[in-house]
C-alpha cells in the first residue's frame, strides 16, 4: 500500500512547482513586453503605430538603426557614457571598499559617528542635493566637463555600507596573520580584503554600471555642449528634435544592449553575491 503513496509524491511536487512557475513566467513576460515592443517598433520605420497590429512581426528592416547610428554625435555620446560608467565603477568600488575596510576592521576616534553620518545620506533624496552640487561644481569650473559629472557621484553611501557589512565577516585572524608576516595596510587590503570580497564587488559593479549608464538628470544638469552629452541625454535631444519614433526606439535599443550584456556576463557573480549577502 505504500508504493502508490510514494509514487504520488513526485507528481504532487511537480504540480506544486508548476503552480509557482506559472505566475513567475507570466511576470517575466510582462516585464519583457516593453522591451519587445521597443525592438518591434524600431524595426518598422515609416509605419503607423496601431496596437496591437504594430506589435506583430512583419515587414521588418534595419533602416531605423542605420539612421540612428548615422548621426555624427551618436558615437561621441556612446563614448561619453562608456567613460562615465566604467570610471564610476572603478572609482566607486575602490573608495567603497577602502571605506568599508576602515569602518569594519579599524578602530579610530569618531568611527561610529562618521559611519552613521554616511548612512544618514541614504535618507536624503538625491533631488534635494542637486542644486547645492550644481553650485559647487559651477564654482569649481566643472560645468561641461567629465570630472564635473563624475566626481559628485563617487561617494556612494550604499556601496560603502554593503562593503562594510561584507568585510565584517572576514576573520580577523587572516589580517593578524598577515601583519605577523610583515604585510602593511595596503598589502592587506590588496591581497586579503579584495580577493575575499569579489562576489560583492561584482554585484556592486553591476549596479553601479547600470546606475551610471542610465543616469539622466545629473548629466542633463551639468552638460551644456551637445557633444558632451551622455547617451541618455542625447537620445532625449533626438526626441525633442521630432525624429521618427522608430529612430528613437532604435537608439534606445542600442542604449539598452551594453547594460544587458554587462548583466549577462556578470550574472554568475551577481547571483552569488546576492546569495552570500542574504546568508550573512
| Cβ atoms 65, 42 nearer than 8 A | yes
Q: Whole-model pTM above 0.75? A: yes
Q: Return d(Cα 185, Cα 208) in angstroms, integer.
A: 26
Instruction: Tell whether the model's pLDDT for residue 11 goes beyond 60.
Output: no
Residue recorded with cell 515592443: 37
| Cβ atoms 251, 74 nearer than 8 A | yes
**Residue 103, pLDDT score:** 93
pLDDT band at 24 (very low <50, low <70, confident <90, very high): confident
Mean of the per-residue pLDDT values for the chain?
82
Of 103-107, 159-163, 272-276, where does mean pLDDT reach its minimum?
272-276
| Cβ atoms 97, 208 nearer than 8 A | no
Half-sphere exposure of 78 (CA within 13 A, CB side): 17
Amino acid at each position: 500500500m505504500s508504493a502508490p503513496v510514494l509514487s504520488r509524491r513526485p507528481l504532487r511536487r511537480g504540480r506544486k512547482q508548476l503552480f509557482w512557475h506559472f505566475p513567475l513566467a507570466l511576470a517575466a513576460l510582462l516585464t519583457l513586453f516593453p522591451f519587445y515592443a521597443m525592438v518591434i517598433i524600431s524595426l518598422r520605420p515609416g509605419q503607423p503605430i496601431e496596437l496591437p497590429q504594430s506589435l506583430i512581426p512583419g515587414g521588418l528592416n534595419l533602416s531605423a538603426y542605420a539612421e540612428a547610428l548615422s548621426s555624427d554625435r551618436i558615437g561621441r555620446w556612446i563614448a561619453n557614457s562608456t567613460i562615465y560608467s566604467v570610471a564610476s565603477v572603478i572609482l566607486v568600488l575602490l573608495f567603497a571598499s577602502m571605506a568599508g575596510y576602515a569602518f569594519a576592521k579599524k578602530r579610530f576616534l569618531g568611527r561610529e559617528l562618521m559611519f552613521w553620518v554616511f548612512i544618514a545620506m541614504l535618507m536624503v533624496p538625491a533631488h534635494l542635493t542637486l542644486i547645492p552640487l550644481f553650485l559647487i561644481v559651477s564654482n569649481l569650473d566643472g560645468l561641461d566637463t567629465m570630472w564635473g559629472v563624475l566626481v559628485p557621484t563617487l561617494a556612494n553611501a550604499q556601496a560603502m555600507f554593503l562593503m562594510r557589512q561584507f568585510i565584517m565577516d572576514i576573520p580577523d585572524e587572516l589580517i593578524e596573520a598577515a601583519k605577523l608576516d610583515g604585510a602593511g595596510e595596503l598589502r592587506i587590503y590588496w591581497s586579503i580584503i579584495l580577493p575575499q570580497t569579489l562576489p560583492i564587488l561584482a554585484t556592486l559593479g553591476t549596479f553601479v554600471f547600470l546606475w551610471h549608464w542610465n543616469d539622466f538628470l545629473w548629466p542633463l544638469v551639468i552638460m551644456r555642449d551637445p557633444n558632451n552629452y551622455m547617451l541618455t541625454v542625447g537620445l532625449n535631444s533626438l526626441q525633442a528634435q521630432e525624429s521618427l519614433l522608430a529612430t528613437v526606439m532604435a537608439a534606445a535599443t542600442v542604449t539598452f544592449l551594453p547594460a544587458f550584456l554587462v548583466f549577462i556576463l556578470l550574472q554568475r557573480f551577481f547571483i552569488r553575491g546576492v546569495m552570500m549577502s542574504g546568508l550573512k
